[in-house]
Amino acid sequence: MLPTPMNSTSSVKAPRNAAGKRLTSVLMAGLLVSTGATIGVTGFAEPAAAQGFFKRLFNPESAKLKELNAQEALVKQAKKARVSAPRYFTYKPDRLQTISLAKLATVKTAAVAVDPSDSEKQLAEGTSSDVSPTPVVLSPFDEARSVLEDIKIDALSEVGEALIAYYREHPNFIWIDNGRANIKAGAARRTLAAAEEFALDSQDYFVSLPAVSGLSGVERDKALMTFEMQLSAAVMMYMLDAERGRVDPNRISGYHDLPRHKVDLVAALNEAATAADLPAAIEAHNPQSGPFKALKNELAHLRAQDKDEERIVIAPGTFLKAGRSSPEVKNIVAAIKKNGSPELKAAHAETLSAYNGEDLYSAEIAALVKGFQKENKLSADGIIGKNTILALVGVTNAAKIAKVELAMERTRWLPEELGERKVFINQPAFTATYTAPGEEPLSMRVVVGKKSNQTNFFYDKIEVVEYNPYWGVPYSIIVNEMLPKLAKNPGYLDAAGYEVSTVNGRKVSSASVDWYAVATKKASVNVRQYPGARNALGELKILFPNKHHIYMHDTPSKSLFKKDSRAFSHGCVRLHDPRAMAAAVLGKSKSHVASEIAKGQNHQEKVSGDIPVYVSYFTAWPEVDGTISYFNDVYDRDRYLIKAIDATEAARS
């Protein structure tokens, strides 16, 4: 029990009865424990400690202070929190390995033995004199194969494994007859030497003829066997590169998600060894699709062009509107005379013939430029700017060749058969095209990811059209873009028309969430935007579920489709005419799609059939009519692919 107070001036008066004394004692003991105060000579807690406790207990500002501290922590976290985008890697190529062929050195052929029981039977019948062991007949390959004990070649590991597997099953020469390279070897070497026609490097597959002059015996066998193995390895390496590409795209960056093709090299070499038309059998391992063939033809055409052809130059930075003057006007007119279509030049023949070199950018010349812009799929505004200049002067012959070669390499990353019905999105072209047998192609403008939010390169299958969609906000956008707003206003999402829910689906107020915990991944919530006019996905989205959370969708930001360069999204593909694309993949009419949207409710419709979608990246690609168009390298991926090819060639040399 606490001692009775001795100082009558204490702020706490003595109780009037014993029960009151006990109650006071209990209360004071609790206060002392909770505050950590000490008892002085008076028997009460020191006044400062008691005052501190009561201040914390009864001061309503303490809760507000705690909230402010949490808010400050969120502001700091918002400044430093960032969900990183996929990155580009330092490319690590497949390297040649030193392959020992000693495993093939042992002759596996055995003599044909006579069954003893057969011998006894024949002896009893008096016919044993006709029985003799069948002699072993060694092939030229078997006679020479002992030299393989000391032969090693440099090859990709999968090529080395296939080489050993093939000759273990087929112990015969393919490229050698009567001690010299045969006709088939000559055909193979000529085919490999023409690898550049298919955007491959012939140096990767070069094999010298065997130098056997003056050699005999083991040394001659060794030279011939080395040639046999090297040429077979070179043929398999060509077929491997032709089918899957020299570069593994997934080692270039995290933006590439393309499964590398598997190639049965043993079967491929056996097919070449037995083919009536060896060059055709080897070259058939290149893609046989229409786009690849069009690119191959373009490559041949570009290489045949006169490389010394004079090129028209328009000064970089030139910007012109009708009525202004510039010395570049004459170069603009010259470029249209050179690169404009015959139809365009015929339609503006009077303007072209009347122009005498003046600097005035007249209304007539602006009209000519508008026609040129239209046929080059640019905004037909008559304004001379960066994109129009690029279209006018064109890409240099060397740059076109490089773009086509890169496009041929990228084509090898795609399936051999692209599909009869398909959607092909080409990011540098900012277009999406639906094609199906017997139907006019449906092509439209698209918006793709910003350079900081690049759209991935992958392919998948379309499964669903969703009407009046919710927008499930990705974690990266929550952290990178919404967190700073939440730091200023925790109720921001509630006011902006978003639904916030726990991982169990329970809806909660935006202001009640510990966003600091969310930002530091100590807590999880789901955020989605309600359907409606403000929804980022507009009226519908077309889903092909993938780990990148990329899909095609509508957008309320229609004005962006007027721009020539359309890299503005967070990575998804915005469609200029989403109703038309939805109708195409569903195999129904636009009015059907409109009626589903008009229901106003979020619901889905399954896409029937097999419709692949290619979210691709080609800076050179055939148009529907087969002509090749060239596009700006919006994400600098050409540069990274060139680096990967250079690294591959260095590793192979």
CB environment 224-255: b (16+ within 10 A), e (fewer): bbbbbbbbbbbbbbbbbbbbbbbbbbbbbbeb
Q: Please provide the average confidence, as pLDDT, over all residues in the chain.
A: 86
d(C-alpha 476, C-alpha 519), whole Å:
10
Which of 395, 424, 450 lies at the terminal end of a domain, its last residue? 395
Are 216 and 267 within one domain?
yes
d(C-alpha 525, C-alpha 518), whole Å:
7
Q: What percent of the chain clears pLDDT 90, i.e. is strictly above it? A: 71
Which of 290, 310, 344 lies at the terminal end of a domain, its last residue? 290
**Higher pLDDT, residue 488 or 193:** 193
Q: Is 2 within a domain?
A: no
**Section 628-646 average pLDDT:** 95
Are 375 and 433 within one domain?
no
Q: What is the CA radius of gyration of the chain?
A: 39
470-486 pLDDT, tens per residue?
999 998 899 889 988 98
Are 513 and 550 within one domain?
yes
Question: For residue 275, what are the contacts with CB-CB under 8 A and spacing of at least 6?
Answer: 281
Q: What is the pLDDT of residue 239?
A: 98
Q: What is the pLDDT of residue 49?
A: 47
Are 211 and 355 within one domain?
no
Query: With the CA atoms of 30, 36, 42 and 48 taken in that order, what torsion angle do they form, in degrees rounded to the nearest 10?
Result: -110
Amino acid sitting at position 318: T
Q: How many helices (H) and strands (E) does the chain have?
A: 24, 21
- Least confident segment among 8-12, 188-192, 512-516: 8-12
Q: Is 44 within a domain?
A: yes
Q: Is 468 within a domain?
A: yes
247-285 pLDDT, tens per residue?
999 999 999 999 999 999 999 999 999 999 999 999 999
Q: What is the pLDDT of residue 307?
A: 60
For residue 543, the domain's CATH number is 2.40.440.10
Q: What is the pLDDT of residue 20?
A: 43
d(C-alpha 361, C-alpha 327), whole Å:
9
Cα within 13 Å of Cα(505), Cβ side? 0
53-88 pLDDT, tens per residue?
444 444 555 555 555 565 566 566 555 666 678 999
Are 386 and 424 within one domain?
no
Are 388 and 428 within one domain?
no
4-16 pLDDT, tens per residue?
333 333 333 344 4
Within the chain, what is the greatest distance between any pair of CA atoms? 145
> Tokens at residue 394, please?
């064109």
Q: Is 154 within a domain?
A: yes
Are 385 and 461 within one domain?
no
Q: 3-state DSSP call for residue 275?
A: coil
Query: With the CA atoms of 239, 240, 241 and 245 taken in that order, what torsion angle do they form, in degrees rounded to the nearest 10?
Result: 130
What are the residues facing 112 on neighbouring strands?
134
Whether the Cβ atoms of residue 204 and residue 652 lie closer than 8 Å to each other: yes
Question: For residue 469, what are the contacts with CB-CB under 8 A and spacing of at least 6?
Answer: 531, 535, 537, 540, 541, 553, 602
Name the pLDDT band for 32 (thresholds 50, 70, 90). Answer: very low
pLDDT at 389 over 50: yes
d(C-alpha 6, C-alpha 420), whole Å:
102
- Least confident segment among 301-310, 505-514, 587-596, 636-645: 301-310
How far, CA to CA in Å, does 144 sit from each of 185, 216, 259?
A: 18, 12, 41
Q: What is the pLDDT of residue 67?
A: 54
Q: Is 89 within a domain?
A: no
Q: Is 625 within a domain?
A: yes
pLDDT at 334 over 60: yes
**Section 382-387 average pLDDT:** 92
Q: What is the pLDDT of residue 520?
A: 85
Q: What is the pLDDT of residue 625?
A: 85
Task: Name the domain count of the chain.
Answer: 4
pTM, rounded to two decimals:
0.77
Range of 364's domain?
A: 329-395
Q: What is the pLDDT of residue 119?
A: 52
Q: What is the pLDDT of residue 230?
A: 98
Contacts 24+ apart (CB under 8 A), 268-276: 268/236, 268/239, 269/162, 269/166, 269/174, 269/232, 269/235, 269/236, 269/239, 270/166, 270/170, 272/174, 272/188, 272/235, 272/239, 273/170, 273/174
Q: What is the pLDDT of residue 205?
A: 98
Q: Is 573 within a domain?
A: yes
Q: What percent of the chain clears pLDDT 70, i.e. is strictly above it? A: 82
Name the pLDDT band for 543 (thresholds 50, 70, 90). Answer: very high
Are 444 and 556 within one domain?
yes
Are 583 and 442 within one domain?
yes
Q: What is the pLDDT of residue 299?
A: 97
Closest CA to 490 of 512, 511, 467: 511
Are 344 and 484 within one domain?
no
Q: Is 430 within a domain?
A: yes
pLDDT at 444 over 90: yes
**Section 164-175 average pLDDT:** 97
Name the pLDDT band for 595 (thresholds 50, 70, 90). Answer: very high
Are 189 and 243 within one domain?
yes
Are 140 and 205 within one domain?
yes
pLDDT at 414 over 90: yes
pLDDT at 121 over 70: no
**Higher pLDDT, residue 113 or 206:** 206
